[in-house]
Amino acid sequence: MANEVPGALQATTRRVLDGLRHAGTIDDYRVLSPGLVRAGSPEAGEAAVDDEVASASTWRRDVTLMYHPSAWRLSAPALTRLLRSEGGVWVYYEGDPYGLVRHGLPWVAQRVGRRASIVFTVGTGAFRRNFTRAGARDVRWVPSAFDYVHVGPEPSPPVSRTVDFVMIANRHMPRTPLRLLPGARQRAQFVELMTSEFGDTFQVWGRGWTGPSAQGSLDYSRQASAVQSAWFSVNWDHFPQEPRYFSNRLPIALATGSFHLTTAHPGYAALFEGVAGIDFADTPRGLVETARRLRTRLSDAEISEAIESGKRWAYDHLRAERPIAQFLRAGGIDVSDDEAIAASEEAHGRWLREGSIGV
């Protein structure tokens, strides 16, 4: 069960599954993507989605992988039919952040979490408690990850660093203050402090920002080049108190090739112990001071060395094939991280030769 729309497929999962099938590790796989069905049959609308769900509910399967169900937009009867079907081990991955009060877990996610054999989420505090309160039986942490196809080769090719600092993040501006995401005020404060401290050597990409540092919105395909335009990528996270949480912007920044500065979440000291190319602070002002200290004390050569070290660590730990292999193992399929990576790379090369994107 995929969270997809035209032009934004879950390519890494598709590559891994297609490569594993090609290698004979799994017999077969099928993808139900309500967003693609809906877009491909606009005249039929929800009837086409309901028909596809009805068909999928009859598929014989050993493992059912489910991604971000609140984006499926299924009708209540269609969701009920799906969740009542026989699907082997149900593995649900939720990569979006949800709080206990503000931006709470949607009812669809709660229902799917209760049905799932195993839930994977990207934090170990409120994110996990959301699912246990909803009745999930087994909730596990998994890190956000990056797709190697989109971040460029390892090691990094020579790039031109035109500014010192770049930030890629949207400004959250809801209609009512009660809906403001945790950390949103601190993020705005951080941008103001960075702009004041570093002037035109700091750029921020994303929706909602104004002022001299604002560069406008940024398409996903351009993130890598934006990150590589600066020596340091910086960010202040939403949900800054969530233990071990980071969005995919952290692995993308490390793997693309920049020294990443971000919020110090609980658990980071152990999680990133000994990792070069990343640093963090407890407050927006503290993070600005960290940025000033590192840019002043480190030479360009030292920053470059740290960047390459951080990139190697990201490739060793945060490639998106690794959590997918973890999902499959949770479902009882014996596949190693290395096998998943090899399958993904094989499928990518084959798709390029065939001009396809798999099934």
CATH of 148-317, picked from 3.40.50.2000, 3.90.1150.180, 3.30.230.10, 3.30.420.40, is 3.40.50.2000
User: Confidence band (pLDDT; 50, 70, 90) for 127?
Assistant: very high
User: Confidence band (pLDDT; 50, 70, 90) for 355?
Assistant: confident
Residue (of 193, 216, 196, 187) closest to 204 by Cα position: 216
Q: Which residues are registered as beta bridge partners of 141?
A: 121
**34 to 76, 115, 172, 238: CA distances (angstroms):** 14, 19, 27, 28
- Residue spans of the domains in the chain: they are 11-145+319-354, 148-317
Q: Is the pLDDT of residue 238 over 70?
A: yes
User: pTM for the whole thing?
Assistant: 0.94
Q: What is the pLDDT of residue 154?
A: 64
- HSE-CB for 86 with a 13 A CA cutoff: 5
Mean pLDDT to the nearest integer, 27-33: 94
User: Confidence band (pLDDT; 50, 70, 90) for 102?
Assistant: confident
Q: Is the pLDDT of residue 143 over 90?
A: yes
DSSP 170-203: PPP--SSGGGPPTTHHHHHHHHHHHHHHHGGGEE
205: which residues sit within 8 A by CB, 6+ positions away? 166, 167, 168, 169, 215, 216, 217, 218, 226
Q: Is the pLDDT of residue 106 over 90?
A: yes
Pairing mode, if any, of strands 163-168 and 139-141?
A: unpaired
Q: What is the pLDDT of residue 156?
A: 64
Q: What is the pLDDT of residue 291?
A: 98
Within the chain, residue ranges assigned H as helices are 11-23, 34-40, 46-56, 76-84, 107-115, 126-134, 148-151, 184-198, 223-228, 249-256, 268-271, 284-297, 300-317, 321-330, 337-354
Q: State which amino acid sits at residue 261.
A: L
Entry field: residues in the chain:
359
Residue (of 76, 71, 66) closest to 36 by Cα position: 71
